[in-house]
Amino acid sequence: DAGITQSPRHKVTETGTPVTLRCHQTENHRYMYWYRQDPGHGLRLIHYSYGVKDTDKGEVSDGYSVSRSKTEDFLLTLESATSSQTSVYFCAITGDSSYGYTFGSGTRLTVV
Partner 1 sequence: DAKTTQPPSMDCAEGRAANLPCNHSTISGNEYVYWYRQIHSQGPQYIIHGLKNNETNEMASLIITEDRKSSTLILPHATLRDTAVYYCIVRVAVSSGSARQLTFGSGTQLTVLP
| Residues contributing to the site for partner 1 (CB under 8 A) | 1, 31, 33, 35, 42-45, 48, 50, 56, 58, 88, 90, 92, 94, 96-106
Nearest approach in angstroms of CB 104 to partner 1 is 5
Minimum distance of partner 1 from residue 90's CB (angstroms): 5
For residues 8 and 18, which CB has a smaller minimum distance to partner 1 in the complex?
8
Pairing of strands 31-38, 73-78: unpaired
Minimum CB separation of residue 103 from partner 1 in Å reads 3
User: What is the rounded CA–CA span in Å between residue 99 and residue 83?
Assistant: 36
Cβ atoms 68, 74 nearer than 8 A: yes
Shortest spacing between CB 30 and partner 1, in angstroms: 9
Between 58 and 63, whose beta carbon lies closer to partner 1?
A: 58
- Please, which residue, 1 or 79, has the CB nearer to partner 1? 1
Tally of CB atoms within 10 A around 96:
7
Q: Is 64 helix (H, G, I), strand (E, B) or coil?
A: strand
CB 89 within 8 A of CB 35: yes
